[in-house]
Structure 1
């Protein structure tokens, strides 16, 4: 990394920090189990990913991927419909891969977290009770048995990079696990509902869109407090609170 004249903070909160130094990302994580998952998932995933350069706990160094992110939550995406479709095709490739050797979250644990978050959102006045109640009702459609697939687990719009109409890299694999395919599709399209048809065209198989909408509600309900407590703003236009309001 000789000659690097800039160090950029990509993400920083009490659990982890990601720095960009030239063409290298340095991830410092308080939970080495997350880094273990990321390293193994990068080796197993049959889609374009960063290269692991070195690891010296608590730091993981990975290469940058070419291209630009599909977009940013809360802002219109400049990526083409074909690029979004390519993202859907890449996700399908991941979901058809052999399952990773570690399990994902159980349905019971997801329900418990959701109910706890809903209770606290109302009790602390973070969100109106009717907004929480309505979205908890919508979220119920996601709370059903699913056939597990290899999921990325945190497939936010900023985690898929494209160049033109091609996917060049998918980053941030620390939450990869066996899970519901529709969770990944919902996470990618959260706040970008207008792009769902493009993603599904690339994904290439019929899905239950009501379950995707349910995951939008569930992800937003369980994220609002964490985001606010870690320096992010879920009330920005187009972000999690707007996603919840759209279900009313």
Structure 2
């Protein structure tokens, strides 16, 4: 019998792997419905939906290996990163889904959330005030109007699979929907900023590098406390806190 392994588990949802089948457990039925619809609409390789019985969604494994790992030196080729960038561009050029994705709040709401989070990070002693202030300054460039596109919403490199320098699949579409294109690119290159040029080479034009760098800071400032509260360690070498320190 195939062994059951826990891929990820926190208070919002959990994913188990049994052989080549992934079981996603999510109490939010609407989120599962949106994830299935997003995979059907996305013009890039995605996992195959095997069955759905809320709150469980069963999907197939995708071939290949993850593009890279956060906190480890990059081992993937420039061609693999460029292929990932080209796939993301194809996604962003597709018709926009009718629902907001991750970060779908208004510009005013996003700014208020960021300022509140920065205050709490300092007040709770999670991060030094100068580190937070510097990254809040950098993040300002991302706080501008943008045209919504079809975004993945959580385009972590562990969600991107490649084989022989070709993209074979993108997984975990639970946060997909309308969003800022440059947030996706920033998420994928978070912790591997040396790969940004490869991604942009595959993605093509219309990329403001300053905004991507701003999203590195913004996304990380918003995520540090969430990671801690859900059992993750953003202080591991090469992790989120090191991303913030790199902007100093």
Kindly provide the CA deviation profile for residues 188-237 of structure 1, in whole angstroms up to 9, marking residues without a partner as x.
00000010000000001141101000000001000000101111110011
Looking at structure 2, the residues matched to 94 and 84 of structure 1 have their Cα atoms a distance apart, in angstroms, of 15
Looking at structure 1, the residues matched to 129 and 13 of structure 2 have their Cα atoms a distance apart, in angstroms, of 32
Q: Partner of 2:18 in structure 1?
A: 21
Residue 77 of structure 1 deviates from its aligned partner by 2.3
Q: Partner of 1:114 in structure 2?
A: 114
Q: Partner of 1:191 in structure 2?
A: 191
Residue 34 of structure 1 deviates from its aligned partner by 1.8
Equivalence map 1:131-146=2 (5 Å): 131-146=131-146
Residue 111 of structure 1 deviates from its aligned partner by 1.5
Looking at structure 2, the residues matched to 205 and 20 of structure 1 have their Cα atoms a distance apart, in angstroms, of 38
TM-score norm. by structure 1 comes to: 0.97
Equivalence map 1:151-190=2 (5 Å): 151-190=151-190
The equivalent position to 2:94 in structure 1, one of 97, 100, 106, is: 97
RMSD: 0.9
The equivalent position to 2:56 in structure 1, one of 56, 59, 81, is: 59
The equivalent position to 2:39 in structure 1, one of 37, 42, 65, is: 42
Looking at structure 2, the residues matched to 206 and 101 of structure 1 have their Cα atoms a distance apart, in angstroms, of 23
Q: Partner of 1:127 in structure 2?
A: 127
Looking at structure 2, the residues matched to 165 and 7 of structure 1 have their Cα atoms a distance apart, in angstroms, of 30
Q: Partner of 1:5 in structure 2?
A: 2
Q: Does 1:207 align with 2:207?
A: yes
Aligned with 2:132: secondary structure?
A: helix
Does 10-19 or 100-109 show the bigger shift?
100-109
Kindly provide the CA deviation profile for residues 114-168 of structure 1, in whole angstroms up to 9, marking residues without a partner as x.
1111111011000011111111110000000011110001000100000011000
Residue 103 of structure 1 deviates from its aligned partner by 2.5
How many residues were matched structurally?
A: 245
Residue 14 of structure 1 deviates from its aligned partner by 1.5
Q: Partner of 1:216 in structure 2?
A: 216
Tell me, which stretches of 5 or more residues in structure 1 are unaligned? none
Q: Partner of 1:85 in structure 2?
A: 82
TM-score norm. by structure 2 comes to: 0.97
Moved over 6 A (4+): none
Residue 92 of structure 1 deviates from its aligned partner by 0.3
Aligned with 1:139: secondary structure?
A: helix
Kindly provide the CA deviation profile for residues 29-87 of structure 1, in whole angstroms up to 9, marking residues without a partner as x.
12222212111100100000001111111100011000000011111222111000000
